[in-house]
Amino acid sequence: MTNNEMFSQLILHWYKKNKRNLPWRKTKEPYKIWVSEIILQQTQISQGTNYYLNFIKTFPNLKSLSKSTESNVLKTWEGLGYYSRAINMLNNAKLLVKQNKTFPNNYDELIKLKGIGEYTASAISSICKNEKKAVLDGNVFRVISRVFNISDPINQSRGKKKIHKITFKLLPKKNIGDYNQALMDFGSIHCTIKNPKCDVCPIKNMCQSFKIQNIQSRPVKLKKNTTKKTRNLNYLIISCKQNLYIKKRLQNDIWKNLYELPMIETNEGIRHKLIIQSLASLFKDFKLKDFVLIKKTQHKLSHQNLNLFFWKITTSKLKEKKSSILLKVPFKEVSQYPFPKPISKYLDEYLIT
């Protein structure tokens, strides 16, 4: 047995004993594996499991997903972030069903679909069809960097290519899907970022970083010099007889197509004049009586920090425009609309109290 064969056999053996009992591991249906892969790009397994079960319950197959609306899919996805991924899933489903196709299980067909990159196509095709594809997530990068003591940064193309080449060479002849999942699990449970279980590691004799004890400095990652932008978003709670005014977001950003309250972005605090201007753009006629801050909260995104202010607007007169971008939604129906997480969290509190 070669060293590479020994490596994959030891990892597969470890997996047999330590495999986590996850719902998507009970199937080889490409549709379900696709759903799990896209969800797990967004969140940890613990939170992702509930989203997966709910998504599969709501859309058990490609056909049911294809018949859904954007709003329903976004509602199921609410809180996961990167909402364009959910829209891509819906559009892929519609396209495949229209072409009378089932969800593909091979890399060449998968990679043609919108929102499916090398990682996801490799994962689905290796799990469902045993295609010889290496799957590299952060866990695999860490394990391979340590075992082969790779000093090239893993967030640069040279390091990525090197690790991809090694990982591909290590693939076993069969059970490729299991092996790929095993290596990711091994990184996530055993060869962890902090306190890897080196003492009881089945591959410690092969691990170069263990031998020279530089584990904590592998993998190497170049720090990006990024300063996050801070934004102040003022949301206006305008209601009328147990109805709330909301609007659909059309801006091309991560919250595109979700719903929100009318919003004013400011550099610093809000001013009376800005609220008047905003109401004038939304309503035909109005009389502003008061505006009161009822909640201030923060939300961190990967690229920016958001300060969110919720202002209760009181008016003595409110006349709607004939054609308006606003939707007037009864309080009890608001929860049916998909909102960005910090807004839905606030609305849940507000509409209950």
Report, in Å, the least distance between residue 334 CB and ligand SF4. 49
Maximum C-alpha span of the chain: 83
Beta-strand relationship, 259-260 and 263-266 = unpaired
Continuous segment of H or E residues that includes residue 175 = none
d(CA 298, CA 133): 41
**Does position 198 bind ligand SF4 by CB under 6 A?**
yes
Binding span for ligand SF4 by CB under 6 A among 27-35, 38-46, 190-198, 238-246: 190-198
Alpha-carbon torsion (327, 51, 230, 351), positive or negative: positive
One-letter amino acid at 246 equals I
Task: Give min distance, CB of 2 to ligand SF4, in A.
Answer: 18
Q: Which of residues 144-173 bind ligand SF4 (CB under 6 A)?
A: 146-147
Structure tokens at 288: 């502003």
Q: Identify which of residues 154 and 279 has a Cβ nearer to ligand SF4 in the complex.
A: 154
Q: Which residue has the tokens 């801050």?
A: 293
Least Å from the CB of residue 199 to ligand SF4: 8
Site for ligand SF4 in 202-261 (CB under 6 A): 203-204, 207, 209-210, 215
Q: Taking the complex as a whole, how short is the minimal distance between the CB of residue 20 and ligand SF4, in angstroms?
A: 17
Q: Which of 201, 244, 318, 343 binds ligand SF4 (CB under 6 A)?
A: 201
CB 154, min distance to ligand SF4, A = 15
Whether 333 is catalytic is no
The nearer residue to ligand SF4, 198 or 327, going by C-beta atoms, is 198
Q: Label residue 279 exposed, middle or buried (CB < 10 Å: 0-12, 13-18, 19+).
A: buried
What number of other Cβ atoms are within 10 A of residue 213's Cβ? 9
Nearer to ligand SF4, 138 or 330 (CB): 138
Q: Which of 5, 29, 37, 260 is catalytic?
A: 37
**CB contact at 8 A, 124 and 34:** yes
The number of beta carbons lying within 10 Å of the beta carbon of residue 155 is 14
Helices and strands (H, E) in the chain, number of each type: 14, 7
Name the residues that contact ligand SF4, by CB under 6 A: 143, 146-147, 190-191, 196-198, 201, 203-204, 207, 209-210, 215
Active site residues: 37
